[in-house]
Amino acid sequence: MNTRTAHSHPGAPGADRTGNGGELHRQHGGGKETLLTTNQGIPVADNQNSLRVGSRGPTLLEDFVLREKITSFDHERIPERIVHARGSGAHGYFQPYRSLSGITRAKFLQDPSVRTPVFVRFSTVAGGSSSIDLPRDVRGFAVKFYTEEGNFDLVGNNIPVFFIQDAMKFPDLVHSVKQEPDRGFPQAASAHDTFWDFISLMPESMHMIMWAMSDRAIPRSYRMMEGFGVHTFRLVNEFGESRFVKFHWRPVIGSESVLWDEAVKINGADPDYHRRDLWEAIESGQYPEYELALQVFDQETADRLAFDVLDPTKLIPEEEVPLDIVGKLVLDRNPDNFFAETEQVAFCPANIVPGIDFSDDPLLQGRLFSYLDTQLSRLGGPNFHQLPVNKPRCPMHNFTRDGMAQMEVPKGRVAYEPNSLAADAPRECPVHGFTSFPAPVEGNKTRLRAESFSDHYSQARQFLLSMTPPEREHIANALAFELGKVETIAIRTRMLGHLKIIDAALEVEVSDQLGMSGKADVIEPAQAPQDLPPSPALSLLAKARSTLEGRKLAVLLGDGFDPDMLVALESRLKNEKAKLAKVALKPGAVQDSSGKVHAVDMALAGAPSVLFHAVVVLSNESVSDALVDLPTAQQWLRDAFGHYKAIGIAGCDALAGKAAVKGEFGVIDLASPSELDDLVLAAKSGRVWDRVGF
């Protein structure tokens, strides 16, 4: 977009631009104002809403403002993805548990004996391809199904809602969270002025910001991360009957996140932490598994809900529409070549198969255009679908020809349809081909946000109230940390005003940490928030499984340790389907009490306790006191203790005393192998919250 100077324009302060009167989406200083125009100099009347049929209808292709804005945005970076640049991928398969023929004609959901190949890419959003794995950020969760009817791309995130309601605002959102353009930092971080300036002027972002400040934004592992399709889609059966659907992925081994202090230290110790974890799990045969769950509902149910199902900033609580678990995704093979597969894979929400269809969600409608346009730039032309990772596994016949990077050699003189010169040329098929659900549409062409999209605070409040006390504290601390990095005081006070609407106690806690008590702006919401009942399903801790499956623990070995204890520990963890890393002061080897030498996996200096789910120290202070006075060993235990992890101690009481962890909650004295039961029980519970009184 270009700008030109004008004395006034429709976006002046106080103007109602969204149909949600009372909310100010932007503020202007005094003097002459700058009029927003297209790249052709055409004045823009509305930079908040796509052009659609009625306030809830589909977005129109003629919206040249939207297309120009997103096209320009899509082509800003070459060849790296503009968003989701840092990713990790894996091959696998999807298998339904039963036939879903009653609700969809999609073939890959019909036969429980059929496995559909998939490629999955997990990613961070804001950082570049060489950034860290554990910033506070949304994570992408994109699945490409190679079905017998063509590729279906379920392109989602690890959070079920999004920051914005309309694709028109996507370039603005990403520009705000990326490095500030004059200085080129911060990288992969939202704790800076431009992001919070945008968020504080967009009340529709308040629900998503609660999720982004929660533990969901710092997952322990891609293997322990939920996924969501975000938007409302349609399922259509063979009779042409349609129902709405929300897609969910649930990790079989349960969900888990790290603490912020752990994330900071992990990024320093191993910036490839998530990438390495996924690779090593698959190589060792601990294949990540996720169950596909659906929320299926009809138009009558949609009409009863207190919000609009086309609004991507809203979710449907599981208490209102329960999840139906319908199949399993298994990742069982690492890529053969990172660039050829993980980097060149091209996802697009527009890639759907018969039996699945779109809704008129205005963010989804914009994504249907944006992703394809992005691939044209990033992968050099229209033939990216011929790359092996993108190529359908079913027969493909059409009249597409030529173009950059053409890898096929089409034969014959006919490249058009209809034709009478090639009897065996492909033809369309109304019976088996994809047909859009004939949803009725009516209304004037307009740039107006539906009034049903105007409640921006109720679900934000519901999410916060659904959290356990530790999770609520983490959200408050995250907000204080991020806003503390904001230099512009007016942005802080504006954001505190939003927090006060969401929850008065939250605003008090955050403003107190910022030293800004009583400074919150007064903000009038477009729609007064409702007090919705808590939804325990929104909390990671409330539904956490008691398990060690897929987790990695560490044992710090000192000379003279009891070998029987190590054998018992290894046996117990193997039974729990957990992995054990052997750590010692030096990377070579360590001797047990019998003089036997044991190889170790990692040296202490390169294996901080933040990398592990729980830790154990096995040593013998009467044989060697090398660990006792070592600051690195003491910090190893202090960090584990401060991060509320289960700790086992055997033959090293002095080290536990120096680290000030002995005798505390979740610190188990391993006098004999029988005490391993207590250690395993504590570790399976996750964090030892008793240490902080939760």
Residue 599, helix vs strand vs coil: strand
Task: For residue 287, count other CB atoms closer than 10 A to its CB.
Answer: 16
Tokens read off for 617: 């120290």
Rounded CA-CA distance 272/127 in Å is 13
Cβ–Cβ < 8 Å for 559, 618: no
At residue 243, the 3 state secondary structure works out as strand
| Count of Cβ atoms closer than 10 Å to residue 638 Cβ | 16
| Identity of residue 394 | C
pLDDT at 31: 56
DSSP 595: S
pLDDT value, residue 43 = 76
Q: Which residues of 551-577 are buried (b: 16+ CB within 10 A; e: fewer)?
A: bbbbbbbbbbbbeebbebbeebbeebe
Alpha-helical (H) ranges within 485-528 are 489-502, 504-514
Angle, CA of 568, 606 and 187, to the nearest 5°: 125
Per-residue model confidence (pLDDT) at position 398 = 86
| Main-chain phi, psi angles of 145, to 5 degrees | -90, 125
pTM of the model: 0.91
Sole residue written with tokens 């956490």: 544
In whole angstroms, what is the distance from residue 554 CA to residue 607 CA?
Answer: 9
Residue 96 DSSP one-character state: E
- CA–CA gap between residue 336 and residue 341 (Å, rounded): 8
Residue 171 contacts residue 73 (beta carbons within 8 Å): yes
Residue with tokens 């403003």: 511
77-386 is classed CATH 1.10.260.30: no
Low-confidence ranges of the chain (pLDDT < 70): 1-32, 77-78
HSE of 360, CA atoms in CB hemisphere, 13 A: 20
The answer to whether residues 579 and 286 touch, using CB atoms and an 8 Å cutoff, is yes
Q: Which CATH number applies to 552-692: 3.80.10.10, 3.40.830.10, 3.40.50.880, 3.30.70.120?
A: 3.40.50.880
Give me the residue label for tokens 């505190």: 496
User: Hey, where are the domains in the chain?
Assistant: 77-386, 457-538, 552-692
Q: How many C-alpha atoms does 626 have within 13 Å on its Cβ side?
A: 17
**pLDDT recorded at residue 692:** 84
**Catalytic residue numbers?**
84, 157
| 175 token code pair | 């520009």
- For residues 326 and 309, what is the distance between their CA atoms, to the nearest angstrom? 22
> If you count DSSP H runs as helices and E runs as strands, how many of each does the chain have, helices first?
16, 22
Classify residue 343 by its DSSP letter: I
Strands 579-584 and 589-591: unpaired
551: part of which helix (H) or strand (E)?
Answer: none
Confidence (pLDDT) at 77: 65
Q: In angstroms, rounded to a whole number, what is the distance separating the alpha carbons of residues 279 and 333? A: 9
Phi, psi of 265 (to 5 degrees): -75, -35
Architecture of domain 457-538: Up-down Bundle (1.20)
